[in-house]
Structure 1
Amino acid sequence: MTSRVQLPLVLTLGVLAVSCAAVLIRFASNAHPEHTPLFSLVVAAGRLTLASLVLLPFTLRGLGRQKLSRRAWGFTLASGVMLALHFMTWITSLSYTSIASSTALATTTPVWVALIAWIFLKTPPSMQTLAGIGVALAGGALVAFGQDTTLTAPNPLLGNMLALVGAMCAGAYFMLGRQAQHEGVPTQLYAGLAYGAGALTLLPLPVLTGVGYQAPLEAYFWIAMLALIPQLIGHTSFNWAMKRIDPTLVTLLILLEPIGSSLLAMLFFKEFPGSQVILGGVVLLLGVAVASYPTRSRAQTA
């Protein structure tokens, strides 16, 4: 398959896969009899554990063939820890706020990618990027402080803040993963190691917080679907693309996720966001699109 066909196909598949994540998480959480927000730790740990177990044979084979440098190990493991923090905060946010608000705020990832590149890679953003960041922050404020009256949003402000922290962690995860792959870690091996590091970070937390791993089989079915579709298909697709094109272009496509997630939330949960959330989401996505859209100089560099 030529790269001209392969790249758009992989990215399209990745967007469709991650759009299912919020709905699958809500199904898993609703299957727990106590509906406790702490069950999000089980969902996050289960998602990464199952994904890393599926990839384990390929990971072991890759380690046998590829000798990684200390820097490569460092970037890979750090990326996995940031992925764990991303899931811990973002999945928990879905217990407090609406799917539309949570996924809209989670897509500010490109803003944090640009800021991380500025601070750590000494790549200053253009005026276009800065303007887009300003618009995105204004939209994010509208979403974060919008009054959400849906039954599934018991504490919108807390949930929105958790989603925003999750987006910051996701930005660090993507950039660390990009650095790991530039250090020579193949995409498949990187995915297995990063998902495994994230799983090991999260696995003790349900026990330490007292929620435990006891849950109906239905909950684990949805967790398995979460590991298979958004994680193995969605995230791995984006990690594969990160090495081949400008990372901001990849994260730009993630802006399509809130649209699909919101439509699924309306279909399955009758969850209709308020007017301020919709307005804020539109402004936020517009700002992120402006911040992430490649200028001619950036396109030449990519």
Structure 2
Amino acid sequence: MSSRKTSHLYALLVIGMIAISFSAIFVKWSEAPAPVIGMYRLLLTNLVLLPWVWSYRAEWRSIQRRDWLRMTMSGFFLGLHFLLWMESLRHTTVASSTALLTLEPILVMAGSFWLFKQRTTSRAVFGIVISLFGVILIGWGDLKISGQALYGDLLSVLGAIAVVIHMLLGQDLRQRVSSYVYNFTVFLVAGACLAVYNISAGYAMTGYGAKEWVLFSLMAIVPTVLGHMLFNWLLKYMNATSISMGVLGEPVGASILAWILLGEAMTPLQMLACLLLIFGVWVFLVNDRKAPQSVSTTADVGTA
């Protein structure tokens, strides 16, 4: 891959990183239940993508049953991720919740090695260590071993595990399925799963004010289309670990935005930690190896 194309891919990764940083802010601003926010975020994204469905009709028909099953599983775990993580923001701070999500690259790297035999360099691993140290410093003042905050922290960890499964399934599927078809299917399944949950839990599906609908729409456009959808597209050209490392930048962006827009405290130590985290991500991306374009072990993914 040419250095120019690689630079463009990293630029898109940064755009996605900035976009997902707004997610926690929109959730904090909204007064709607977390599962309702997640549902409308996904279904409104599908509404944006709907005009192009017909042009992909040939690909829809050619997808094998095995891949339909895997896309359904990927969508389920994405919906579960949104449910757990958005709910965590009701119980803990933005810095703490997003910091715990950074377990993702470690779990993705382990899963990629196990499923796809993907290796990385020792320098790239060093970059992960630097970044995680920065993340620990960001969330240090917010991680409280007490009832409500601990519950929120646990939800964030479980949300990280769910999104790792979603990412690993996506890395396999994106070798055979176009970005549009993958995104539309996964978002639709995730939104439908959240709709079923909302109905069973008795949450109101309508009756929300104009402010809430604006926030639902912003969640669809900014962190979903410009964030998650962009990451799913990048899975064709970058490995899941690299993209997950880019997600490490979310605590930086989210913490800064929470400080500016929500008035959540940000100490000088956390500011220094943000710079350390960014440096660690840069070290990883410079030294990581590109994932192979073909995956020889795809038959083993998602069949357990």
**C-alpha distance in 2 between matches for 1:132 and 1:17:** 23
Q: Tell me if structure 2 keeps the 8 A contact 1:146–1:276.
A: no
1:28 is aligned to 2:30: yes
Distance 1:161 1:283 in 2: 25
Partner of 1:41: 35
CA offset digits 1:179-235 (Å, max 9, x no partner) = 1111x2111111111101111111121221122223323112101100111101111
Using structure 2 for the length normalisation, give the TM-score. Answer: 0.80
RMSD: 3.3
Residue number in structure 1 paired with 2:172: 179
Question: Which piece of structure 1 moves more, 216-225 or 189-198?
Answer: 216-225
Q: Which runs of 4+ in 1 moved over 6 A?
A: 124-145, 274-290
Worse-matched range after superposition: 113-122 or 256-265: 113-122
What code does the residue aligned with 2:76 have?
Answer: V
201-210 or 127-136: which moved more?
Answer: 127-136
Counterpart of 1:212 in structure 2: which amino acid? A
Instruction: Say if 1:112 and 1:289 are closer, same or farther in 2 by CA, change over 3 A.
Output: farther
Tell me the CA shift for residue 100 of structure 1: 0.7
Q: Residue 259 in 1 paired to residue 252 in 2?
A: yes
Indicate if the aligned counterparts of 1:109 and 1:251 stay in contact, CA closer than 8 A.
Answer: yes
CA distance in 2, matches of 1:125, 1:4: 17
2:200 maps to 1:208 = yes
Q: Which amino acid aligns with 1:198?
A: A
Match among 222, 227, 236 for residue 220 of structure 2 = 227
Distance 1:282 1:116 in 2: 28
**Structure 2 residue identity aligned to 1:210:** G
Q: Distance in 1 between matches of 2:12 and 2:276?
A: 28
Deviates more, 1:41-50 or 1:211-220: 211-220
The C-alpha deviation readout for 1:127-155, integer Å capped at 9, x for no partner, is 67777778888887887785568xxx982
Match of 2:163 among 157, 165, 170: 170
Distance in 2, Cα, partners of 1:162 & 1:284: 23
2:189 match: 197
Match for 1:209: what amino acid?
A
* Percent identity between the two aligned chains: 27
Post-superposition offset of 1:245 = 1.7
Instruction: Report which stretch shifted further, 86-95 or 245-254.
Output: 245-254
Q: Does 4-13 or 68-77 show the bigger shift?
A: 4-13
Letter in 2 for 1:229: V
The answer to whether 1:104 aligns with 2:99 is: yes
Indicate conservation of the 8 Å contact 2:16/2:226, yes or no: yes
Q: Distance in 2 between matches of 1:231 and 1:60?
A: 22
Which consecutive residues of structure 2, in runs of 5 or more, have no partner in the other structure? 294-304
The structural deviation recorded for 1:124 is 6.4
Provide the rounded CA distance (Å) in 2 between the counterparts of 1:219 and 1:51. Answer: 16
Check conservation: 1:13, 1:233, Cα contact below 8 A: yes
- Residue in structure 2 matched with residue 56 of structure 1 by the alignment: 50
Q: Give 1:24 shift.
A: 0.8
Tell me, in whole angstroms, the C-alpha distance in 1 between the residues paired with 2:278 and 2:126: 13
Compute the displacement of 1:284 (Å).
8.1
Worse-matched range after superposition: 276-285 or 117-126: 276-285
Cα distance in structure 2, aligned partners of 1:5 and 1:134: 24
Matched residue, 1:36: none
For residue 269 of structure 1, the aligned residue among 262, 283, 288 is 262
The answer for the alignment partner of 2:300 in structure 1 is: none
Partner deviation per Cα, 1:49-89 (whole Å, 9 max, x = no partner) = 11112112323431334511223222222111111011010
Other structure's SS at 1:244 match? coil
Which residue of structure 2 aligns with residue 83 of structure 1?
78
Match of residue 114, structure 1, among 105, 109, 113: 109
Moved more, 274-283 or 221-230: 274-283
- 2-structure distance, mates of 1:9, 1:295: 16
Supply the distance in 2 between the matched residues of 1:209 and 1:49 (Cα, whole angstroms).
19
SS state at 1:107 partner:
helix
